[in-house]
Amino acid sequence: MKLKSQDQWLGYVLTLHFPSLVLWGDLGAVALDNGLARTPTMGWLHWERFMCNVDCREEPDSCISEQLFMQMAELMVSDGWKDAGYEYVCIDDCWMAPQRDSLGRLQADPQRFPGGIRRLANYVHSKGLKLGIYADVGNKTCAGYPGSFGYYDIDAQTFAEWGVDLLKFDGCHCDSIKHLADGYKYMSLALNRTGRSIVYSCEWPLYMWPFHKPNYTKIRQYCNHWRNFADVYDSWESVKSILEWTSSNQEKIVEVAGPGGWNDPDMLVIGNFGLSWDQQITQMALWAIMAAPLLMSNDLRHISPQAKTLLQDKDVIAINQDPLGKQGYRLRKENNIEVWERPLSNLAWAVAMRNLQEIGGPRSYIMPLASLGQGVACNPSCFITQLLPVKMQLGFYEWTSSIKTRINPTGTVLLQLEGKNRLHQKA
Ligand code: GLA
* pLDDT for residue 418 is more than 50: yes
Q: Which atom of ligand 1 is nearest to the CA of 203?
A: 8
- 136 ligand 1 Cβ < 6 A: no
- Which of 54, 94, 136, 142 most suits a substitution to test ligand 1, by most atoms within 8 Å of the C-beta? 142
Do the Cβ atoms of 404 and 365 come closer than 8 Å? Answer: yes
d(CA 184, CA 233): 25
- 47 ligand 1 Cβ < 6 A: yes
CA-nearest of 195, 412, 168, 201 to 310 is 412
User: Where is pLDDT greater, at 200 or 23?
Assistant: 200
Distance 47 CA to ligand 1 centre (A): 7
Distance 206 CA to ligand 1 centre (A): 11
Which tens digit of pLDDT belongs to each residue from 218-256?
999 999 999 999 999 999 999 999 999 999 999 999 999
396 φ, ψ to 5°?
-85, 140
d(CA 30, CA 9): 18
Any bridge partners for residue 350, and if so which?
342, 416
122: alpha, beta or left? (left if phi > 0; alpha if psi -120 to 50):
alpha
Span 92-101, mean pLDDT?
98
Among the ranges given (26-40, 184-198, 385-399), the one the predictor scored with the smallest mean pLDDT:
26-40
Span 32-55, mean pLDDT?
97
d(CA 391, CA 414): 9
Distance set, CA 8 to CA 11, 120, 151, 192 (Å)? 5, 39, 22, 18
Distance 167 CA to ligand 1 centre (A): 13
d(CA 92, CA 53): 11
Residue 27, number of CB atoms within 10 A of its CB: 17
Span 48-61, mean pLDDT?
98
* pLDDT for residue 160 is more than 90: yes
Atom 1, ligand 1: which residue's CA is nearest?
Answer: 142
Distance 222 CA to ligand 1 centre (A): 20
* pLDDT for residue 13 is more than 50: no
Q: Which atom of ligand 1 is nearest to the CA of 134?
A: 10
- 331 ligand 1 Cβ < 6 A: no
CA-nearest of 37, 51, 9 to 298 is 51
Q: Which atom of ligand 1 is nearest to the CA of 168?
A: 10
At residue 27, the pLDDT reads 46
> How many CA atoms lie less than 13 Å away from 358 in the CB half-sphere?
6
* pLDDT for residue 424 is more than 60: no
Span 100-113, mean pLDDT?
98
At residue 420, the pLDDT reads 73
At residue 21, the pLDDT reads 32
92: alpha, beta or left? (left if phi > 0; alpha if psi -120 to 50):
beta
At residue 18, the pLDDT reads 32
User: Where is pLDDT greater, at 425 or 231?
Assistant: 231
CA-nearest of 144, 220, 143 to 185 is 220
Distance 399 CA to ligand 1 centre (A): 46
- 317 ligand 1 Cβ < 6 A: no
What is the band of 30 on the pLDDT scale with cuts at 50, 70, 90? confident
User: Where is pLDDT greater, at 423 or 342?
Assistant: 342
- 142 ligand 1 Cβ < 6 A: yes
Distance 18 CA to ligand 1 centre (A): 31
- Which of 167, 227, 228, 231 most suits a substitution to test ligand 1, by most atoms within 8 Å of the C-beta? 231
At residue 421, the pLDDT reads 64
* pLDDT for residue 8 is more than 60: no
What is the average pLDDT value for the chain, to the nearest integer? 93
d(CA 54, CA 97): 11
Its pTM stands at 0.92
Do the Cβ atoms of 158 and 176 come closer than 8 Å? Answer: no
Among the ranges given (24-33, 89-98, 164-173), the one the predictor scored with the smallest mean pLDDT:
24-33
Provide the percentage of residues in the chain whose pLDDT is more than 90.
Answer: 90
What is the band of 423 on the pLDDT scale with cuts at 50, 70, 90? low
- 388 ligand 1 Cβ < 6 A: no
What is the band of 33 on the pLDDT scale with cuts at 50, 70, 90? confident
* pLDDT for residue 163 is more than 80: yes
Span 356-377, mean pLDDT?
97
Please confirm whether the linkage preceding 323 is cis (ω < 30° from 0): no
Distance 91 CA to ligand 1 centre (A): 11
- 170 ligand 1 Cβ < 6 A: yes
Span 38-48, mean pLDDT?
98
| Residues annotated as part of the active site | 170, 231
* pLDDT for residue 175 is more than 70: yes
